[in-house]
Chain A
Amino acid sequence: MFRPSHFAAVVLFALFASVIFGITQRDTPRRMIRYGIYCFVLFVGSAIVLSWLMFLIAR
């Protein structure tokens, strides 16, 4: 059984979803790559920010 950590799962999820979003939501390869990176950073960045927020609220 594959048991990734919560963060590893987030990174894998963000990677796959960003690839699809990049390809389907933009027309040119250059814009696809830029949008894919943008989505990846937003996915992972928002997960990190929300994690810290929940950590601080729970204290």
Chain B
Amino acid sequence: MATPVNKIAATGKGSQRGFVYLPLIAGWLVPGAGHFLLRKWGRGALIAASIVGMFVLGIAMHGKLYSSVNDVLDLLGLAGDLGNGLLFVLSRVLGLGADQVQVTTADYGTRFIVVAGLLNVISAVDAHNLHTGRKS
């Protein structure tokens, strides 16, 4: 007899195809890509629009992109920024974002960029859970 736990495990095994961490990594590198791989087009589009929108608004507000670590808060900021995946790398390469926060809106922008990264990690984990069958 299949208990709910067994059912979840069975669903998980059935839904796993290919590299199990592909949606997680794709979702981290490109916002929404993990859901696109799983053919969740609507969810993927909304996630991509939200994360990219938040990141672009943060850059437009002259938010700071963390590059060096001087203290623990910088380390946390860098960890959040790295959650944006290729958006962060591309912005660093193009020299976008401010080095120092000088106005209030730039401080908002810095938070927008960090939170966009954290939300992107949540979305990537959600794609992984969908792939493994932990979530439907």
- Determine the main DSSP class of A at the interface with B: helix
Partner of B47, one of A3, A23, A27: A23
**Is the Cβ of B123 less than 8 Å from the Cβ of A3?**
no
List chain A residues, Cβ under 8 A from B53: 16
**Is B92 in contact with chain A by the CB < 8 A criterion?**
no
**Is the Cβ of A2 less than 8 Å from the Cβ of B135?**
no
**Is the Cβ of A20 less than 8 Å from the Cβ of B105?**
no
**Is the Cβ of A2 less than 8 Å from the Cβ of B60?**
yes
**Is the Cβ of B50 less than 8 Å from the Cβ of A3?**
no
A1-B60, A4-B61 known; A20+B136 contact, CB < 8 A: no
A3-B105, A4-B108, A27-B136 known; A20+B60 contact, CB < 8 A: no
A17-B115, A20-B123, A24-B122 known; A2+B105 contact, CB < 8 A: yes
- Identify 12 residue pairs between A and B in the complex whose beta-carbon atoms are under 8 Å apart, listed by A's number: A2-B60, A2-B105, A4-B108, A6-B108, A9-B105, A16-B50, A16-B116, A19-B47, A20-B119, A20-B122, A23-B47, A27-B135
